[in-house]
Amino acid sequence: MDCIFCKIANKELDTQVVFENDQVLAFEDVNPQAPTHILVIPKKHIPNIQEMKLEDQQLLLPEIFQAIQQIADDKELEKGYRVVNNCKDSGGQTVNHLHFHLLGGRVMQWPPG
Ligand code: 5GP
Ligand code: ZN
CATH code for the domain in which residue 12 is found = 3.30.428.10
Q: How far apart are CA 69 and CA 29, in angstroms?
A: 18
pLDDT reported for residue 43: 98
Q: Which of 6, 14, 30, 38 to mutate to test the pocket of ligand 1 (most atoms within 8 A of CB)?
A: 30
| Residue numbers of the domain that contains 87 | 4-104
| Counts of helices then strands in the chain (DSSP H, E) | 3, 5
Tell me how many domains the chain contains.
Answer: 1
pLDDT reported for residue 113: 83
Ion ligand 2 neighbours (CB, 5 A) are 3, 5-6, 45, 97
pLDDT reported for residue 1: 78
Decide: 31 in ligand 1 pocket, CB within 6 A.
yes
- Cα of 54 from ligand 1 centre, angstroms: 26
User: Is residue 111 a part of any domain in this protein?
Assistant: no
What is the bridge-based pairing of β-strands 100-104 and 17-20? unpaired
Q: What is the DSSP letter of 17?
A: E
Give Cα 78 distance to the centre of its chain: 19
Per-residue b or e along 39-60, where b marks 16 or more CB atoms closer than 10 Å to that residue's CB: bbbbbeebebbeebeeeeeeeb
pLDDT reported for residue 19: 98
Give 28's contacts (C-beta < 8 A, 6+ positions apart): 15, 16, 18, 37, 38, 39
Instruction: Give pLDDT < 70 ranges for the chain.
Output: none
